[in-house]
């Protein structure tokens, strides 16, 4: 499971950020939910734009009836499966009443995009909020998504470069602030840069991180056994006891443990960004 990719600086940066988010620590404190909302917005931005364009185009009575029904149903959203049943039932009812093939195709497209949104509760919630905003808000998402997609590898690692990118389109990001809960002291270019960095690194390392998690889970099973062996050795030191040969053998796995423990420890503060199962707390050296 120990792969050379897991030792690269970019991956270790992602592992550190992820740990801080999950434990609400350091400069990532309080932005975990904002990241979830932002990810949902980026994931759904294409559907948002298509839906909005269809609603803005010319529409017949039956099309408008279906759009209004879908919007009301979303506002009372309970779960994805129920919503799908409601939308599919309505589209079957409405389609035969639409005269043109073009109108039918627009309804099918609208239904498809609405159903895509229903896969993610955050996407649904954001859509309902956006519906109360102007159309340009949907286009803001499209613009931001394009900027993120065009990021180069060096840009993702450099928080400074990402902050410059945010500053160039800061009006767009500020338009999202209230919607993704970036308010008060959190509302600044650095916060948006951290959000973009985490999402971009997550996309790049989603497969590697799964491998890393498997490795750490194995190490968590290993750690209590290692700790018991270590305690026994310390309880019976060589100076006071005749030790068996096994006492001086290297403990299997210790090199791997030290490797990631060192990689994911802040050398200035002693804070750890990986949990092998020991009590995790900030320490100073």
pLDDT tens digits, residue range 62-105? 888 998 899 889 888 888 899 999 999 999 999 999 888 988 99
Q: Residue 267's pLDDT is what?
A: 82
SS3 content of the chain, % helix, strand, coil (to 5): 70, 0, 25
pLDDT at 283: 36
Residue 15 has pLDDT above 90, yes or no: yes
Q: DSSP state, 251?
A: P
| Bigger pLDDT: 60 vs 137 | 60
Work out the pLDDT band at 222, boundaries 50, 70, 90.
very high
The Cα–Cα gap between 56 and 233 comes to: 74
Identify whether the C-beta of residue 256 lies closer than 8 Å to the C-beta of residue 7.
no
Mean pLDDT to the nearest integer, 40-54: 86
What pLDDT sits at residue 126? Answer: 82
The whole-number pLDDT of residue 134 equals 56
Query: Per-residue pLDDT for 31 more than 90?
Result: yes
Between the ranges 5-9, 17-21, 45-49, 51-55, where is the mean pLDDT highest? 17-21
Nearest to 31 by CA among 12, 17, 15: 17
pLDDT grade for 115, boundaries at 50, 70 and 90: very high
The mean pLDDT value of the chain amounts to 86
**77 CB contacts (<8 Å, ≥6 apart)?**
83, 118, 121, 124
CB 243 within 8 A of CB 257: no
Rounded distance, CA 265 to CA 271, Å?
6
In three state form, how does the secondary structure of 10-37 look?
Answer: HHHHHHHHHHHHHCCCHHHCCCHHHHHH
Q: How far apart are CA 10 and CA 15, in angstroms?
A: 9
Which pair of structure tokens corresponds to residue 97?
């009443």
Q: Which residue has the higher pLDDT, 62 or 3?
A: 62
Encode 117-138: b = buried (16+ Cβ within 10 Å), e = exposed. Answer: bbebebbbbbbeebbeeeeebb
Q: What is the CA 23 to chain-centroid distance, rounded?
A: 15
Predicted TM-score (pTM) above 0.85:
no
- List 265's β-bridge partners, or say none: 272
Q: What radius of gyration do the chain's Cα atoms show? A: 26
What pLDDT score does 285 carry?
A: 32
Q: How confident is the model at residue 188 (pLDDT cuts 50, 70, 90)?
A: very high
pLDDT for position 6: 87
First-last CA distance in the chain = 31
pLDDT on residue 61 = 87
CA distance 183 to 44: 22
Q: Tell me how many degrees the CA angle 39-40-46 measures, rounded to the nearest 5.
A: 105
Residue 197: pLDDT band (50, 70, 90) is very high
Look at residue 17 in the predicted model and tell me its pLDDT. Answer: 94
Location of structure tokens 């960095």 = 197
Nearest residue to 200 via CA among 143, 154, 248, 140: 154
Q: Are 45 and 145 in contact (CB under 8 A)?
A: yes
Kindly tell me if the per-residue pLDDT of 224 is higher than 80: yes
Which whole number is the average pLDDT over 99-115? 91
d(CA 190, CA 233): 48
Query: Would you place residue 153 in the very low, low, confident or very high pLDDT band (cuts 50, 70, 90)?
Result: low
More reliable by pLDDT, 67 or 153: 67
| Residue closest to 23 by CA, chosen among 191, 273, 210, 196 | 273
Residue count (the chain): 285
- Asked if residue 280 has pLDDT above 70, the reply is no
For residue 272, the cross-strand partners are 265
């Amino acid at each position: 499971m120990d792969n050379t990719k897991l030792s690269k600086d970019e991956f270790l940066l992602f592992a550190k950020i992820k740990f801080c988010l999950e434990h609400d620590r350091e400069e990532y404190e309080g932005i975990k939910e904002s990241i979830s909302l932002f990810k949902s917005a980026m994931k759904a931005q294409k559907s948002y734009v298509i839906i909005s364009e269809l609603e803005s185009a010319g529409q017949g009575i039956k099309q408008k009836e279906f759009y209004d029904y879908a919007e009301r149903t979303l506002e009372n959203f309970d779960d994805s499966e129920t919503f799908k049943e409601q939308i599919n039932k309505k589209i079957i009812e409405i389609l035969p009443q639409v005269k043109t093939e073009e109108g039918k195709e627009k309804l099918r497209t609208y239904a498809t995009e609405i159903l895509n949104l229903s896969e993610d509760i955050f996407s649904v919630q954001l859509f309902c909020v956006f519906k109360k905003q102007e159309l340009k808000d949907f286009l803001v998402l499209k613009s931001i998504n394009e900027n993120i997609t065009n990021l180069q590898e060096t840009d993702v690692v450099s928080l400074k470069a990402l902050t410059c990118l945010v500053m160039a389109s800061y009006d767009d990001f500020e338009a999202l602030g209230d919607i993704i809960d970036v308010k008060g002291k959190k509302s600044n270019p650095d916060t948006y840069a951290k959000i973009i960095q985490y999402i971009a690194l997550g996309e790049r390392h989603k497969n590697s991180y799964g491998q890393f998690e498997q490795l750490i889970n194995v190490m968590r099973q290993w750690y209590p056994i290692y700790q018991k062996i270590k305690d026994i050795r310390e309880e019976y030191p060589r100076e006071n006891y005749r030790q068996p040969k096994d006492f001086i053998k290297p403990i299997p796995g210790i090199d791997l443990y030290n490797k990631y423990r060192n990689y994911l420890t802040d050398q200035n503060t002693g804070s750890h960004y990986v949990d092998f199962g020991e009590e995790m707390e900030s320490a100073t050296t």
